[in-house]
């Protein structure tokens, strides 16, 4: 395994302010989530229903996707298939260029972050303006998102006030009161909404049966994007498809309680194709694969595609709480990122992420669709070892064979113990072997203290005492 995550996490671990911001925010959300989920006597049944729906949806994804194409087209929309990020960026760029517009509004979309759409549009001379408050903060700071739901979770109110004062005209007297910050962003965005001709959105769900697309958000800015412009382009990962409209009822009960700890989402927008005189005149749905089909081929890892991006697993993860999202170097941080990124981007790109976990299981306990993240982490560790590091066959197999032989007979075990002691004791300093292990074991020792082996084992001491 590489040390990429451990190295990327170091600056965050040394930043006390960042750790305090993360701890405050994640603890507040996780406590609220626990309260609102406890209100429902059938919460566990709802989770099981969510799991079954997502399982059925991914098992027959090919059928549901073809149905989406038919139903969206029948409702007046157009469906585009994007096998990878480059294709999705090209499709969106060409659609916008055809309108002659040089500026588009965007409603929060992880899929467009994943494919680097803003950068690709900038290369075509098109400016994408983020309209979600947290995304706007990240964009103004030239920063990157560090949380699925609260992309600016690493910034506190004082930092946001300074950012607004520096970037938004007329905000010199702004305080760090949340209402004032929200009002400043609202005034800045309102004009953009009114003049925008093109919007780009993500999607939380699409329904195969009806061709409806669904976006949930908290500020209402998303709804402005979805209704005011003339052209709406939605970029959606293929795993977001649900078979039936009734499935939405389960998902819309699970998602708000797990994400923002609300009983109901403040703004849930649903649209089906285009409707003359109401909303955008043109609608395009870009179905993004970008590693999802390959993920489906792994019978253990494919459950990562069940994720509904609620972020509950981030808020309870002891690793995320200390490192924040940037250390994951991916659009998807936290426990879900640790299993999704290596599968979507290729094992080599996210090879260290399956180790970014203590395997405590807190993520599994809160996941609204019951994704067994710890089991997938262990599975991916095995895959990285075999497919990237080349372990598992020759070297590792031989080492395990030797260990098995040593443990099989007491005499051999005791000889191995004596040999281990003779080799390890010279490495000890003040009773500990810390950061001094040779070769590949050195990385193991950078974050762990290994006590020096005692001069004699318990058995030796016992034998000596009896004799």
- Please report how many Cα atoms fall inside a 13 Å half-sphere around the Cα of residue 430, on the Cβ side: 3
Query: Is the Cβ of residue 288 or residue 339 nearer to ligand SF4 in the bound state?
Result: 339
Residues in contact with 299: Cβ distance below 8 Å, sequence separation at least 6, in sequence order: none
Looking at the DSSP bridge assignments, the partners of residue 429 are 432
**Furthest-apart CA pair in the chain: how many Å?**
98
For the CB of residue 53, give the shortest distance to ligand SF4 in the complex, in Å.
12
Query: Is the Cβ of residue 29 or residue 196 nearer to ligand SF4 in the bound state?
Result: 29
The two structure tokens encoding residue 84: 């990878």
* Beta strands 267-272 and 212-217, pairing class: antiparallel
Q: Distance between CA atoms of 5 and 13, rounded to whole angstroms?
A: 12
Burial class of 75 by CB neighbour count within 10 A (0 to 12, 13 to 18, 19+) = middle
Query: Is the Cβ of residue 77 or residue 256 nearer to ligand SF4 in the bound state?
Result: 256
Query: Is the Cβ of residue 242 or residue 307 nearer to ligand SF4 in the bound state?
Result: 307
Given a contact cutoff of 8 angstroms between Cβ atoms, the answer to whether 316 and 31 are in contact is no
**Helix pair 178-195, 133-140: axis angle to 10 deg:** 90
For the CB of residue 446, give the shortest distance to ligand SF4 in the complex, in Å.
28
Beta strands of 167-305 (E only): which ranges? Answer: 198-201, 205-207, 212-217, 231-237, 241-242, 267-272, 282-288
**9, 181, 199, 308: which one contacts ligand SF4 (CB under 6 A)?**
308
Query: Is the Cβ of residue 52 or residue 281 nearer to ligand SF4 in the bound state?
Result: 52
**128, 140, 198, 336: which one contacts ligand SF4 (CB under 6 A)?**
336
Stretch that binds ligand SF4, among 87-95, 137-145, 274-282, 307-315 (CB under 6 A): 307-315
- 3-state class of 171 per DSSP? coil
Does the footprint of ligand SF4 cover residue 353 (CB under 6 A)? no
Stretch that binds ligand SF4, among 96-104, 287-295, 305-313, 392-400 (CB under 6 A): 305-313
Query: Is the Cβ of residue 9 or residue 312 nearer to ligand SF4 in the bound state?
Result: 312
For the CB of residue 322, give the shortest distance to ligand SF4 in the complex, in Å.
18
For the CB of residue 315, give the shortest distance to ligand SF4 in the complex, in Å.
9
Q: To the nearest 10°, the Cα dihedral for 24, 152, 319, 18?
A: -60
Does the footprint of ligand SF4 cover residue 137 (CB under 6 A)? no
For the CB of residue 308, give the shortest distance to ligand SF4 in the complex, in Å.
5
For the CB of residue 254, give the shortest distance to ligand SF4 in the complex, in Å.
8
Beta strands of 318-419 (E only): which ranges? Answer: none
Stretch that binds ligand SF4, among 213-221, 360-368, 407-415, 431-439 (CB under 6 A): 360-368
Given a contact cutoff of 8 angstroms between Cβ atoms, the answer to whether 278 and 235 are in contact is no
Does the footprint of ligand SF4 cover residue 57 (CB under 6 A)? no
Q: What sections of 233-299 are H helices per DSSP?
A: 247-259, 292-296
The two structure tokens encoding residue 322: 């200390």
Does the footprint of ligand SF4 cover residue 311 (CB under 6 A)? yes
**309, 326, 379, 381: which one contacts ligand SF4 (CB under 6 A)?**
309
Query: Is the Cβ of residue 311 or residue 331 nearer to ligand SF4 in the bound state?
Result: 311
For the CB of residue 367, give the shortest distance to ligand SF4 in the complex, in Å.
3
Query: Is the Cβ of residue 61 or residue 336 nearer to ligand SF4 in the bound state?
Result: 336
Buried b vs exposed e over 36-69: b needs ≥16 C-beta within 10 Å?
bbeeeeebeebbebbbebbeebbeebeebbebbb
- 3-state class of 54 per DSSP? helix
**133, 189, 290, 312: which one contacts ligand SF4 (CB under 6 A)?**
312
For the CB of residue 64, give the shortest distance to ligand SF4 in the complex, in Å.
19
Does the footprint of ligand SF4 cover residue 307 (CB under 6 A)? yes
Q: Distance between CA atoms of 261 and 249, rounded to whole angstroms?
A: 17
For the CB of residue 340, give the shortest distance to ligand SF4 in the complex, in Å.
8
Stretch that binds ligand SF4, among 209-217, 264-272, 308-316, 394-402 (CB under 6 A): 308-316
How many chain residues interact with ligand SF4 (CB under 6 A)? Answer: 14
Interaction with ligand SF4 in 361-400: which residues (CB under 6 A)?
366-369, 371
For the CB of residue 263, give the shortest distance to ligand SF4 in the complex, in Å.
17
Does the footprint of ligand SF4 cover residue 313 (CB under 6 A)? yes
Query: Is the Cβ of residue 37 or residue 258 nearer to ligand SF4 in the bound state?
Result: 258
> 77 — phi, psi (to 5°)?
-95, 180
Given a contact cutoff of 8 angstroms between Cβ atoms, the answer to whether 264 and 372 are in contact is no
Does the footprint of ligand SF4 cover residue 207 (CB under 6 A)? no
Angle (nearest 5°) at CA 366 between 42 and 328: 155
Binding site for ligand SF4 (CB under 6 A): 258, 307-313, 336, 366-369, 371
């Amino acid at each position: 395994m590489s040390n990429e995550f451990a190295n990327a996490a170091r600056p965050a671990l040394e930043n006390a302010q960042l750790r305090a911001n993360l701890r405050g925010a994640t603890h507040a959300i996780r406590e609220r989530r626990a309260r609102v989920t406890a209100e429902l006597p059938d919460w566990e049944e709802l989770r099981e229903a969510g799991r079954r729906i997502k399982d059925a949806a991914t098992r027959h994804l090919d059928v549901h996707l073809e149905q989406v194409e038919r139903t969206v087209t029948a409702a007046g929309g157009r469906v585009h298939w994007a096998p990878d990020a480059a294709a999705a960026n090209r499709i969106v760029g060409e659609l916008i260029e055809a309108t002659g517009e040089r500026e588009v509004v965007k409603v929060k979309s992880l899929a467009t972050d994943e494919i680097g759409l803003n950068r690709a549009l900038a290369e075509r001379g098109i400016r994408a303006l983020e309209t979600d408050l947290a995304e706007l903060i990240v964009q103004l700071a030239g920063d990157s998102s560090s949380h699925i739901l609260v992309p600016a979770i690493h910034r506190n109110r004082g930092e946001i006030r300074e950012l607004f004062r520096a970037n938004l005209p007329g905000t010199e007297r702004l305080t760090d009161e949340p209402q004032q910050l929200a009002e400043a962003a609202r005034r800045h965005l309102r004009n953009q909404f009114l003049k925008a001709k093109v919007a780009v959105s993500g999607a939380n769900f699409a329904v195969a049966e009806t061709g409806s697309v669904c976006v949930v958000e908290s500020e209402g800015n998303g709804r402005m994007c979805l209704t005011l412009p003339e052209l709406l382009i939605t970029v959606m990962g293929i795993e977001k498809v649900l078979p039936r409209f009734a499935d939405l009822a389960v998902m819309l009960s699970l998602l708000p309680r797990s994400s923002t700890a609300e009983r109901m989402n403040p703004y849930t927008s649903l649209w089906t194709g285009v409707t003359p005189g109401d909303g955008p005149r043109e609608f395009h749905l870009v179905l993004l694969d970008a590693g999802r089909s390959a993920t489906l081929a792994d019978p253990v890892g494919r459950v990562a595609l069940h994720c509904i991006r609620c972020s509950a697993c981030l808020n309870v993860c002891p690793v995320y709480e200390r490192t924040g999202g940037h250390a994951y170097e991916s659009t998807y941080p936290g426990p879900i990122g640790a299993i999704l990124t290596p599968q979507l981007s290729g094992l080599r790109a996210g090879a260290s992420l399956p180790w970014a976990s203590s395997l405590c299981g807190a993520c599994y306990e809160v996941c609204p669709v019951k994704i067994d993240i710890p089991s997938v982490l262990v599975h991916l560790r095995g895959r990285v070892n075999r497919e990237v590091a080349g372990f598992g066959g020759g070297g590792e197999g031989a080492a395990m064979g030797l260990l098995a032989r040593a443990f099989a007979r007491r005499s051999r075990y005791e000889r191995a113990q004596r040999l281990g002691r003779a080799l390890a004791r010279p490495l000890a300093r003040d009773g500990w072997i810390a950061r001094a292990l040779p070769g590949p074991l050195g990385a193991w020792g950078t974050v762990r203290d290994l006590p020096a082996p005692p001069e004699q084992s318990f058995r030796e001491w016992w034998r000596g005492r009896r004799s």
